[in-house]
């Protein structure tokens, strides 16, 4: 980036965006190990498109199963190694806490986004968040970033400024709207 250029990012939720959710008891959930973890087809290509357009690509994901004792940190790290190697985001940030911890990093709070902005000198108003849930949309609003929701059967009731069918359409929208 040249001198004076705006530094902007696309924050990507992980589950439901870069990898499919796992349905448990009729609700969307995070994979609990490599056996349940797969990547959304074309995810690496879409991240590459964003990076080529000058966006920093940062994964921001809640992983409360770590705090709940259902996901060992080693298993989470293994999934993130696969994600990092295959998709090549600039950074992966995760919140290992549960709601009762009341941390600043767990979406819908904007902590992961605002901390990344402070560390990288990002202009949040020029940045985006792509997610699949209400916590993603609320975190985007709280951080002052534009948001797009990837539609799914489980999120039909989620209020979102913009909805698309998949990550490719989200990237198209971001590149069109800047």
Is residue 75 annotated as part of the catalytic site, yes or no? Answer: no
Is residue 132 annotated as part of the catalytic site, yes or no? Answer: no
- Among 13, 65, 132, 136, the active-site one is 13
φ and ψ at residue 17, rounded to 5 degrees: -120, -60
86, 39 in Cβ contact below 8 A? yes
User: CB-based contacts of 155: which residues, under 8 Å, 6+ apart?
Assistant: 16, 28, 132, 133, 134, 149
What distance in Å separates the CA atoms of residue 148 and residue 128, rounded to the nearest whole number?
8
- Among 15, 65, 132, 136, the active-site one is 15
Tokens (6 digits) for 124: 């949040």
159, 134 in Cβ contact below 8 A? yes
What distance in Å separates the CA atoms of residue 154 and residue 27, rounded to the nearest whole number?
7
Q: State the catalytic residues.
A: 13, 15
């Amino acid at each position: 980036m040249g001198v004076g250029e705006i530094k902007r990012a696309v924050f990507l939720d992980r589950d439901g965006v870069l990898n499919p959710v796992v349905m448990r008891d009729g609700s969307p959930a995070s994979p609990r190990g490599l056996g349940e973890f797969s990547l959304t087809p074309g995810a690496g290509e879409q991240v590459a498109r964003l990076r080529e357009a000058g966006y920093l690509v940062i994964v921001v994901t809640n992983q409360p199963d770590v705090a709940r004792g259902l996901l060992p940190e080693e298993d989470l790290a293994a999934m993130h190694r696969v994600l990092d190697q295959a998709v090549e985001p600039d950074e992966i940030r995760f919140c290992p806490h549960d709601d009762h911890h009341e941390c600043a990093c767990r979406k819908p709070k904007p902590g992961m986004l605002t901390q990344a902005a402070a560390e990288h000198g990002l202009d949040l108003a020029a940045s985006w968040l792509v997610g699949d849930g209400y916590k993603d949309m609320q975190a985007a609003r709280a951080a002052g970033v534009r948001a797009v929701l990837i539609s799914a059967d489980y999120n039909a009731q989620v209020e979102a400024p913009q909805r698309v069918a998949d990550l490719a359409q989200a990237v198209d929208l971001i590149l069109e709207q800047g």
